[in-house]
Structures are given as structure tokens and as C-alpha cells.
Amino acid sequence: MMKVRMLVLLDILHELTDEEHILNSQALLAELNKKGYTTDRRSVYRDIEALSEYGFDVVTTPKGFYLRNRRFTLAEIMLMISAVQAAPFVTESKTTALMNKLMSFLSVYQREGLKNASNIRGVKFGNEEVYRTIEMINYGIASKKRISFLYYKRSIMRRDVVQRRGKRYYVSPYAMVWVQDRYYLISNMNDKEGLTHFRLDRIRDVRIEDEQVRPVCEVSEYGEEFNAVDYASKCLNMFGGEIAKIDLRCHMDLLNELFDRFGEDIPVKKDGEDHFIARIEAAVSEGFINWVCQYGALVEVISPAGVREAVKRRVEETYRMYSE
């Protein structure tokens, strides 16, 4: 009974106290009584001392007691909740459930303030399998086993349509990366060279296969360890393609944008008062062409000639479309 009472007391301190909400021994006795545990002040003092000895940061003040340091700080909880709210691949129901779990680490007063501060929920996808998908893929990566799955895309009728007429995809999984609010599996497809990626919210019915994964060094530029950060930085908008060194002439206003996208170690040099030239490594793909074109005259591809010509064709196509 005494051990259970101590845990109930810990719950009360966790739920109802923080630096701005302090409960004295009389208030703690009242709260324990509400939960069916009748005791005295001495027992409360002994229980608090035992909790402190075990490592819980119960602060004693002239006004009473409160739980100070928790497993997560308020700022950490806010960051995690904001990330969950902003993640489209976490469905509405799972977003609510995960938010409630995270807020359970806070006092009731902190939760109330957090409800008003956190309201950035955007578009959410409807794949309720996403947790199982993540767990199964992670198991495949950890055990170095190939996996298989079905892959779906949305149709014009807003329905999920299975790809390849329901034929399963067989891949060697290497990593999961979160890029631009999308969660991707990076893998190598059976009987193909190179890396490819799949959106996790479109994956269904993941199975672990008996075959071992292909070593990533056999199918990519990477060695024994796959570098997910490097891969994501080179595959703009997550379009794959052949990696090339590309020289860009950019307006100085985009300097921080390039550093954010490709890292601060890319070579850059000034080119006049308002421009700089940068050398980056990126996959030559539709994603890269789209990325360049979004900046209009602020970014110019200098080399290679083939990439410059591809951007030129895209600009000319757009001009013709709007001039007709």
C-alpha cells in the first residue's frame, strides 16, 4: 500500500505542480485522499524524501512542493508537437494520440497553455499503417534483410490506386529520411542498379524477406555506410538522377538558401557586387530543373552545358505556354 501511495503521490506532483503551481502538504494529503489513500504529513514527507533520493527532482520550498525537472522540458515538448502537427504522413488520429502522449509529460497547467500555442496542423494523409510501415522498414534496415511492399498513388478521383497492378516491390532498405515534410525510404530495387526512394505514406503491407540486402557500396557512390544527409541534399525535391558537379551564378540574396540546401562547405566566390558563383553536387533531374527555375533570373546555370541547356528548354517551354 505504501509503495503504491508513493507512486500516486508522484503522479500528483507530475500532474498538478510546476514552478508556478506549488502544493503544500495539506493539499497533497487532500489529493491523495481523493484517490483513496489516507495518510499523514510525516508519511508525505518521507515519500517525498524517498522520491528525491531515487532521482526525481522534487523541490521543497516554504510554500510546499513541486516537481521541477521532467523527462522533457516544455520547449522540447513544444518542438516535438509542432513537428508531429506539421508532418503530413502522420494521420489526424495518430497526430492527436501522439500529441496527448507528449503532453502527458507536462503538468495540467503547462498543457493548457500549450493547447493555445500549438495549432499549426496542415494537410494530413490517410494511411493509418504508417507506424507499422516505419517499424517494419526499420527492422529490415537493422537486420539487413530485404523487404517487399505494395505501393499506392492518388488518382484524379482522389482514390488510392495500387501501382504495377498489385505486383510487390522488392528492395534492399538502407535508410528513412524526412525531407520537406515527406518521409522517404531510400533503397535499391531488386535487379536494378542505383538508389531509389519511396514515400512512406504510400507504402502498404510491408513484409520482411529472407534475402540479405545488397551492400550499399555495390549500388551507389557510398562506402559501407549510407550517408542519408548527403543523399537528401543532392536529390532536390527527392528526384533521383546522375550526380554531377554544377556551377551556379546566383544573386547574393540566395547565399543562405544555398548554404541551407547544400551545406556551408560548398565552394563559393564573389562575382561582382551582387552575385557569387557556387559549385554544388546534385542529381541532374526534373527536381533540380524545377528548383533552379523557381528562382528565375536569380540563379543561372553556368556548367555543365547539358544542364544549362535543359534549364533553357524549360524556360522556353514555359514562355511559349504563357505567350499562346
The residue to which cell 527527392 is assigned: 238
Band the pLDDT of 186: cuts 50, 70, 90.
very high
Cis omega (within 30 of 0) for bond into 304:
yes
Q: Is the separation of the CB atoms in 239 and 286 below 8 Å?
A: yes
**64 pLDDT tier (thresholds 50, 70, 90):** very high
Q: Over 80: is that where the pLDDT of 203 sits?
A: yes
Rounded to an integer, what distance in angstroms lies between the CA atom of residue 216 and that of residue 194? 9
Q: Model confidence at 236, in pLDDT bands (50, 70, 90)? A: low
Mean pLDDT computed over 232-251: 81
Q: How many angstroms separate the CA atoms of 243 and 265, rounded?
A: 18
pLDDT one-digit tens code per residue, 258-306: 887 888 888 999 999 999 999 998 888 888 999 999 999 999 999 999 9
Write down the pTM of the prediction: 0.68
Are 70 and 76 in contact by the 8 Å Cβ rule? The answer is no
So what's the pLDDT on residue 32?
A: 92
Has residue 96 got a pLDDT over 70? yes
Ranges of H-type helices in the chain: 2-16, 25-34, 41-54, 74-86, 92-103, 108-117, 130-143, 216-219, 228-234, 255-262, 286-293, 305-323
Give 135's pLDDT tier (boundaries 50, 70, 90). Answer: very high
> 116: pLDDT confidence band, cut at 50, 70 and 90?
low
- pLDDT value of residue 118: 56
Q: Cα 306 to the chain's mean position, in Å? A: 35
